């Protein structure tokens, strides 16, 4: 599964109303399971959604659907405020916040694996 396919699937869920502005996006672990994808692939998909203005990060809380109207109506495509990604400092801060949130989630996953191995568990990296 490619990151573009994952990102497009999530965009379609947003466009169709299955995911609404402010809704939490699935976690990296959930997306890895759902799409049979690696963590790197899921991270790239999420980065693409954020870069294009479809998602925002809240450190320590996860990724959420952005409060933008991304309907596929052709009339809306002519409005730059609908299709243009957020720019400037705010976009950079959001990107850094997402990178930090992703790193925290990865650390938690790794910590859980180490604890499972130390307690005699058999879970291995996927």
User: What is the CATH number for 43?
Assistant: 1.10.10.10
pLDDT of residue 74: 36
pLDDT of residue 52: 92
Residue 106 lies inside a defined structural domain of this protein: yes
Residue 126 lies inside a defined structural domain of this protein: no
Residue 103 lies inside a defined structural domain of this protein: yes
Query: In 1-126, which ranges are E strands?
Result: 55-58, 62-65
DSSP 79-90: -HHHHSPP-HHH
Residue 104 lies inside a defined structural domain of this protein: yes
Tell me the average confidence (pLDDT) per consecutive run of 10 residues in the chain, 126 residues long: 93 94 94 95 95 92 80 41 50 72 83 89 54
Residue 16 lies inside a defined structural domain of this protein: yes
pLDDT of residue 69: 53
Residue 123 lies inside a defined structural domain of this protein: no
pLDDT of residue 91: 63
Could you give the dihedral angle defined by the CA atoms of residues 57, 59, 63 and 69, in that order, rounded to the nearest 10 degrees?
-30
What is the rounded CA–CA span in Å between residue 1 and residue 88?
32
Residue 16, burial from CB neighbour count under 10 angstroms (0-12, 13-18, 19+) = exposed
Residue 125 lies inside a defined structural domain of this protein: no
What radius of gyration do the chain's Cα atoms show? Answer: 16
Question: Does residue 125 contact residue 112 with C-beta atoms inside 8 Å?
Answer: no
pLDDT of residue 88: 59
Residue 28, burial from CB neighbour count under 10 angstroms (0-12, 13-18, 19+) = buried
Q: Which domain holds residue 85?
A: 3-118
Residue 85 lies inside a defined structural domain of this protein: yes
Question: How many structural domains are present in the chain?
Answer: 1
């Amino acid at each position: 599964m490619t990151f573009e396919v994952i990102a497009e699937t999530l965009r379609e869920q947003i466009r169709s109303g299955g995911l609404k502005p402010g809704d939490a996006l699935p976690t990296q672990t959930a997306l890895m399971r759902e799409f049979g994808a690696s963590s790197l692939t899921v991270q790239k998909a999420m980065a693409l959604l954020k870069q294009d203005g479809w998602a925002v990060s809240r450190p320590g809380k996860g990724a959420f659907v952005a409060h933008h109207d991304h309907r596929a109506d052709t009339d809306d495509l002519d409005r730059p405020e609908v299709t243009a990604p957020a720019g400037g400092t705010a976009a950079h801060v959001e990107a850094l916040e997402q990178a930090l949130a992703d790193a925290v989630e990865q650390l938690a996953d790794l910590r859980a694996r180490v604890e499972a191995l130390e307690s005699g568990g058999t879970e291995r990296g996927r």
